[in-house]
């Protein structure tokens, strides 16, 4: 019965997606103190509720305790000084963490002063958060408890966007930012639409990506901003480790180290934004591999350099940039033998090692560059997926974020290959 219903259901005229924008804020001295107090209260609530939950779970095996921070407020009146939504959000985050980890027999971590993330989230209710324009360059954001905080509006927020929540954070260099999340109506992607210009990216170490078109290859020289700054960061970190926590020198050094980290990530973001922007404008669909980056960094000893080049970030940027232009990102399943298959005759070379950068196909004799061959295979597979989607294949799923992929049932069975080495 339900099946019939979904088939009859027409495509909605709009879908709601979340969009996020981040702005620099410049709180006054008093506002900074209140923000720091809020961070501290969130940590306090997290640790106390977590403690209660752990002991409750031990007593009543398998049952979860769900209490609000209200009872803590009675005994600790200082909690009333800060934004109550921040504390509730802490409780909700803790709930999520407990549900996930208790089931696995683990517990969430306690938060430690000076080591925890310096941020809190508050919700939009009845215009309690509002942008106030005072002059050409003078703008403020009204926030619960804090009042008007100076905000640097480097770009305007469309009027039709509906604010959902706001996260106030302090970076390690001592700057304050606010990230605002909005609900936005967008046109859904037309099902079974035709895509003409398609690009495919193969993830390549130690550079970033190799493209099927050859126009968007990113070599090692183009990236590794972090590596260039790494020596300097290590030096600062050593100095920091000798400082007494909380001293004036400690914070000075901490902010200096933070600045370097921020420099590295700012360069990375800038580079990836430009690349993803170009690609999403010039192509209708982009094909990428759905590889597990965490698994890769741990098992293949690439470690930091996997995170360093921001491949995951690039995929996310591509997804939302394509989506906003009513285009799709195709994720090819991680069991697809993109490296081991010959792009000319589709014979699979099971003997290919990770160290083989070039190889010759035993069936048809074509000589391949490992990454180029891989990107060609991804492009073919991506086209195949798009065609299957166009003909109404129900084993494919289009996520609201605009990512088209196989439904995760038994992906290994589809490609019938060994999992090693890929
Ligand atoms: Zn071949």
- Residue 41 domain flag: yes
Ligand 1: distance of its center to the CA of 342 in Å?
5
CA of 202 to the centre of ligand 1 (A): 19
CA of 386 to the centre of ligand 1 (A): 24
How many of the other CB atoms lie within 10 Å of CB of 263? 17
Ligand 1: distance of its center to the CA of 291 in Å? 24
Token digits for 225? 């901003």
Query: Do 254 and 347 share a domain, yes or no?
Result: yes
Domain encompassing residue 311: 198-415
pTM of the complete model? 0.71
In angstroms, what is the span from residue 311 Cα to ligand 1's centroid? 29
Kindly give the pairing relationship between strand 130-133 and strand 139-143. antiparallel
Kind of pairing, strands 130-133 and 15-26? unpaired
Of the residues 129, 151, 186, the one at which a domain ends? 186
Helices 248-282 and 225-241: angle between axes, nearest 10 degrees: 160
Domain presence at residue 25: yes
Cα-to-centroid distance, 415 and ligand 1 (Å): 18
**Residue 375 Cα to ligand 1 middle (Å):** 15
The CA 364 to ligand 1 mean position distance, Å, reads 4
**CA–centroid distance, residue 366 to ligand 1 (Å):** 6
Q: What is the pLDDT, as a whole number, of residue 120? A: 96
Q: How many angstroms separate the CA atoms of 62 and 43, rounded?
A: 25
Ligand 1 center to 348 CA (angstroms): 8
What is the count of structural domains for the chain? 2
CA of 373 to the centre of ligand 1 (A): 10
Q: How far is the CA of 360 from the centre of ligand 1 (A)?
A: 8
Closest CA relative to residue 142, chosen from 159, 156, 173, 163: 163
Domain boundary among 154, 186, 218: 186
Q: Residue 113: what pLDDT?
A: 82
* Domain edge (last residue) among 153, 186, 219: 186
Give residue 80's Cα distance to chain centre. Answer: 33
Using DSSP's 3-state secondary structure scheme, residue 287 falls into strand
Whether 421 is covered by a domain: the verdict is: no
Kindly state whether residue 352 falls inside one of the protein's structural domains: yes
How far apart are the CA of 349 and the centre of ligand 1, in A? 9
- Are 247 and 375 found together in one domain? yes
Same domain, 104 and 146: yes
Report the alpha-carbon distance of residue 208 to residue 268 in Å, rounded: 12
For residue 420, what pLDDT is reported? 40
Judgement on whether residues 209 and 179 belong to the same structural domain of the protein: no
Cβ of 172: how many Cβ atoms within 10 Å? 15
Q: Kind of pairing, strands 15-26 and 176-186?
A: antiparallel
Would you say 141 and 131 are in contact if contact means Cβ atoms under 8 Å apart? yes
Burial state string for 190-206 with b = 16 or more CB within 10 A and e = fewer than 16? eeeeebeebbbbbbbee
Is 3 within the bounds of a domain? no
Tell me whether residue 404 is in a domain: yes
What single string gives the DSSP state of each residue in 322-375? HHHTT-EEEEEPTTS-TTTB-TTT--B-TT--TT-SEEE-TTT--EEEHHHHHH
Rounded Cα gap, residues 219 and 158, in angstroms: 37
Distance 34 CA to ligand 1 centre (A): 66
Are 181 and 261 in a shared domain? Answer: no
For residue 379, the CA-to-ligand 1 centroid distance in Å is 16
Contact assessment for residue 168 and residue 143, using Cβ atoms and an 8 Å cutoff? yes
Residues 122 and 215 in one domain: no
Q: Are residues 182 and 206 in the same domain?
A: no
CA of 289 to the centre of ligand 1 (A): 21
* Residues 281 and 315 reside in one and the same domain: yes
Walking along the chain (422 residues) 10 residues at a time, the average pLDDT comes out as 40 77 96 96 94 86 78 91 94 90 87 85 93 89 96 91 95 92 81 79 77 81 70 84 85 86 83 91 92 64 53 88 88 88 92 87 92 92 91 85 78 48 36
**Calpha distance 171→193 (Å, rounded):** 43
Ligand 1 midpoint to CA 114 (Å) = 57
98 plus 212 within the same structural domain: no
Does residue 172 lie within any of the structural domains? yes
Whether 281 and 233 share a structural domain: yes
Look at residue 293 and tell me if it is in a domain: yes
Pairwise CA distance, residues 157 & 174, whole Å: 25
Cα of 18 vs centre of ligand 1, distance in Å, is 45
334 and 313 co-located in one domain? yes
Roughly what angle, to the nearest 10 degrees, separates helices 311-324 and 248-282? Answer: 50
Query: Do 212 and 357 fall into the same domain?
Result: yes
- Ligand 1 centroid from CA 354, angstroms: 19
Tally of CA atoms within 13 A in the half-sphere of 48 that contains its CB: 18
């Amino acid at each position: 019965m339900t099946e019939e219903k979904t088939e009859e259901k027409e495509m909605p005229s709009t879908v709601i997606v979340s969009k996020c924008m981040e702005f620099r804020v410049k709180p006054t001295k008093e506002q900074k103190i209140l923000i720091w107090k809020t961070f501290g209260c969130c940590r306090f609530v997290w640790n106390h509720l977590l403690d209660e939950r752990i002991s409750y779970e031990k007593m009543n095996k398998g049952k979860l305790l769900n209490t609000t921070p209200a009872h803590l407020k009675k005994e600790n009146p200082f909690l009333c000084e800060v934004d109550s939504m921040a504390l509730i959000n802490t409780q909700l985050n803790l709930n999520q963490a407990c549900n996930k980890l208790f089931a696995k027999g683990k517990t969430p971590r306690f938060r430690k002063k000076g080591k925890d993330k310096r941020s809190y989230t508050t919700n939009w209710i009845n215009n309690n958060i509002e942008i106030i324009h005072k002059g050409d360059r003078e703008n403020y954001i009204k926030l619960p408890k804090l009042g008007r905080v100076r905000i640097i509006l480097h770009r305007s927020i469309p009027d039709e966007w509906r604010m959902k929540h706001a996260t106030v954070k302090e970076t390690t260099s001592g700057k304050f930012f606010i990230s605002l999340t909005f609900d936005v109506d967008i046109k859904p992607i037309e099902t079974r639409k035709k895509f003409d210009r398609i690009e495919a990216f193969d993830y390549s170490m130690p550079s970033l990506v190799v493209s099927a078109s050859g126009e968007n290859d990113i070599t090692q020289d183009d990236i590794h901003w972090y590596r260039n700054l790494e020596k300097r960061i290590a030096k600062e970190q050593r100095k920091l480790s000798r400082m007494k926590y909380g001293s004036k020198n400690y914070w000075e050094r901490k902010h200096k180290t933070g600045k370097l980290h921020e420099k590295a990530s700012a360069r990375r973001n800038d580079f990836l934004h430009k690349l993803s922007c170009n690609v999403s404008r010039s192509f209708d669909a982009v094909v990428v591999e759905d590889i597990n980056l965490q698994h890769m960094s741990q098992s293949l000893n690439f470690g930091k350099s996997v995170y360093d080049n921001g491949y995951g970030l690039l995929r996310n940027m591509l997804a939302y940039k394509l989506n906003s232009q009513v285009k799709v990102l195709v994720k090819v399943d991680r069991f697809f033998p993109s490296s081991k298959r010959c792009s000319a005759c589709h014979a699979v070379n099971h003997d290919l090692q990770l160290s083989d950068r070039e190889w010759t196909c035993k069936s048809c004799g074509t000589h391949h560059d490992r990454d180029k061959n891989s990107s060609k295979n991804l492009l073919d597979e991506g086209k195949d997926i798009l065609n299957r989607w166009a003909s109404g294949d129900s084993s494919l799923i289009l996520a609201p974020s605009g990512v088209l992929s196989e439904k995760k049932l038994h992906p290994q069975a589809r490609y019938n290959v060994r999992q090693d080495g890929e």
